[in-house]
């Protein structure tokens, strides 16, 4: 018996494998993290000023800084493939939800998946540009435009994912207990994202974690939902 979300399930397994690769590749520590952050990659994505960039990578070229830059850059490059996977996973999931429910509204989620991936690509370009200019005499001037674009792209990506998940909530409302739990949890990334937008730091970390958990819940759903 072929499960209705079988394609999403397969993409989800690939997504988990790629996530493990990124966990290994991305740096586990940095020179110093902005207050409230404990994950270097998340801190870098949400960085806002040149001073925070200096804080993250260190004020002067060192072997430690070079190693950190190499790890960040490799993670950013791998992320171009990762974004294609998660966009495909979410788009196929939303497509199946729309087809099974007869509600075209869920196709909005597929569009949001593509939007989030596009924003992610823009975000990665800015991250790579920033690490390439760390030795600039006036870092604030050298990366000012990149920091501005990065902020918009980062929030468009993360915010788009949060709205996408919330958009799926009605689909799960009449399902089994697990489905209803997933439907309820869709509100968590949205609420944490809204709070993090106005209070940057630990809430950003919790927001990112909730998005990762939401992906996991959807992957489990894709594999456990019978025809």
* 115 touches 158 (CB < 8 A): no
pLDDT in tens, the chain (227 residues): 578 999 999 999 999 999 999 999 999 988 899 999 999 999 999 999 999 999 999 888 888 899 999 999 999 999 999 999 999 999 999 999 999 988 899 999 999 999 999 999 999 999 999 999 999 989 999 899 999 999 999 999 999 999 999 999 999 998 899 999 999 999 999 999 999 999 999 999 999 999 999 999 999 999 998 76
| Best CA proximity match to 55, nearest among 40, 77, 72 | 40
The pTM for the full model equals 0.95
**Where are the chain's structural domains?**
6-224
Distances (CA, A) of 185 to 33, 107, 161, 211: 29, 20, 13, 10
């Amino acid at each position: 018996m072929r499960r209705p979300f079988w394609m999403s399930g397969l993409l989800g397994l690939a997504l988990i494998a790629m996530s493990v690769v990124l966990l290994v590749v991305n740096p586990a520590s940095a020179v110093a993290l902005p207050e409230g952050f404990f994950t270097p990659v998340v801190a870098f994505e949400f960085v806002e000023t040149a001073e925070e960039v200096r804080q993250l990578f260190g004020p002067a070229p060192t072997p430690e800084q070079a190693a950190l830059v190499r790890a960040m850059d490799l993670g950013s490059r791998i992320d171009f493939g990762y974004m294609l996977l998660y966009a495909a996973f979410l788009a196929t999931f939303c497509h199946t939800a729309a087809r099974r429910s007869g509600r075209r509204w869920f196709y909005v989620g597929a569009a949001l998946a593509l939007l989030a991936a596009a924003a992610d690509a823009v975000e990665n370009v800015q991250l790579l540009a920033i690490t390439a200019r760390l030795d600039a005499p006036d870092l604030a001037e050298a990366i000012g435009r990149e920091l501005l674009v990065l902020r918009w792209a980062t929030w468009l990506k993360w915010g788009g994912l949060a709205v996408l998940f919330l958009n799926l909530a009605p689909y799960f409302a009449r399902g089994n207990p697990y489905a209803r739990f997933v439907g309820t949890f869709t509100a968590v990334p949205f609420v944490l994202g809204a709070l993090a937008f106005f209070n940057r730091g630990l809430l950003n970390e919790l927001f990112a974690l909730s998005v990762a958990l939401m992906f996991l819940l959807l992957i489990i759903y894709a594999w456990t939902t019978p025809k």
